[in-house]
Every structure is written in structure tokens, then in C-alpha cells.
Amino acid sequence: MKDNKKNLVLREEMSIFLERSPKATSKSVSKSMKSNIAKNTGPEISLRKALYSNGIRGYRLNWKKVPGRPDICFPRLRLAIFVNGCFWHRCPRCDPPLPKTNSSFWEKKFSRNIERDKLKRKRLEDMGWKVLTVWECDVKEKLMDIVKGIGNTYKELNEKKENPRSNDG
């Protein structure tokens, strides 16, 4: 119940509201849209396996106790990682094209996704969290660079947690 209230507040703060999704134009489109998943996507699994095999452990998946349910979360270190799909979250590097059918719906849908991503990030940062966004294309193209970057952030936050006075500076 509490979780639904958090999500309701998030929806109320957003400026873009969507009507019902339009009907799929074909059975293949309908099947494709139904097969989209929110958790345990290929890029998320690849990243988690790489983190684990590089000794970066102790994370929670889709942790409900913070806004936005980060895909990978290190609660003790206040580190949240979102693994964004390039199509759904509009990767600035890939710049995926808009669907040709029902383009006004999709434009609103993607704008809302981007707005929600910014709101989740802001809420977490306001609570003192470090937020990282990893893009699907980067996981495919430079996974070990991402793991190294996350590892550096993990190590830095861990040192601050263990030696809080030496970092006041």
C-alpha cells in the first residue's frame, strides 16, 4: 500500500498524462509489445554478471524502499544504478527514431519516460544518493569500462562510509 502511494505522488508530479495505449496495428506488433519486460532485461543481466564476477557484490535488485526502484542498488552506500533501454528512455547517443504509427502517442510516451527518469534521479539525489545511468548500447559496446567506472564509484563511496572524518576536508 505504501509503495502505491509513492508511485501515485510520482504520477501527480508529472506534467504529461497519457491516454490509453492505441490498438496495435497488427498481431506481430501486439506480440512484440507484450514481450517487453521491465525487470531482468538482457543488459541488466549482463551488467550484474560482470559486476559479480569483478567482486562488486551486495546489491539489491529493483529495491522498493527508495524512489524509482533502481535496477541495481547498493543501499549501504546510497548508490543507485538505472540500466536504461535506448528505445524506451531515448538514448542521446543512439537517437532512436520515433515509431511511424501513432507518432503523437509515442512522442508523449517518450517525453513522459524522460520526465519520470529525471524526477526519480532528483528524488534520490535530494536524499543523498549517488545515481548512475547506464545505457543499453554502452552495456553492449563497452561493458568492462562501465564495470570499472561503477567499481571506482563503489570503492570511493565505501571509503567515505568507512572513514567519514578523513573526507570532510
Domain boundaries defined on the chain: 59-161
- Whether residue 34 contacts residue 26, with contact meaning beta carbons closer than 8 Å, is answered with no
- 63: Cα within 13 Å, side-chain hemisphere: 18
pLDDT for res 46? 97
Could you please state the CATH topology (level 3) that the domain comprising 59-161 is classified under: Endonuclease; Chain A (3.40.960)
CB atoms within 10 A of CB 149: 14
| Alpha-carbon span 112 to 130, nearest angstrom | 23
Q: List, in sequence order, every beta strand (DSSP E) within 94-145.
A: 130-135
Q: What is the pLDDT of residues 31-41, one digit of tens each?
A: 555 556 567 78
Q: What is the CA radius of gyration of the chain?
A: 18
- Pull the grid cell for residue 59: 546489491
65 versus 10: the higher-pLDDT residue is 65
By three-state DSSP, how is residue 61 classified?
strand
Q: What is the pLDDT of residues 92-138, one digit of tens each?
A: 999 899 988 888 888 888 898 999 999 999 999 999 999 999 999 99
By three-state DSSP, how is residue 79 classified?
strand
Beta bridge partners of 74: 79
| Alpha-carbon span 147 to 169, nearest angstrom | 28
- Whether residue 73 contacts residue 64, with contact meaning beta carbons closer than 8 Å, is answered with no
At 11, which amino acid appears? R
20 versus 160: the higher-pLDDT residue is 160
pTM: 0.80
pLDDT for res 1? 44
Residue 33, judged by CB atoms within 10 A of its CB (0-12, 13-18, 19+), counts as exposed
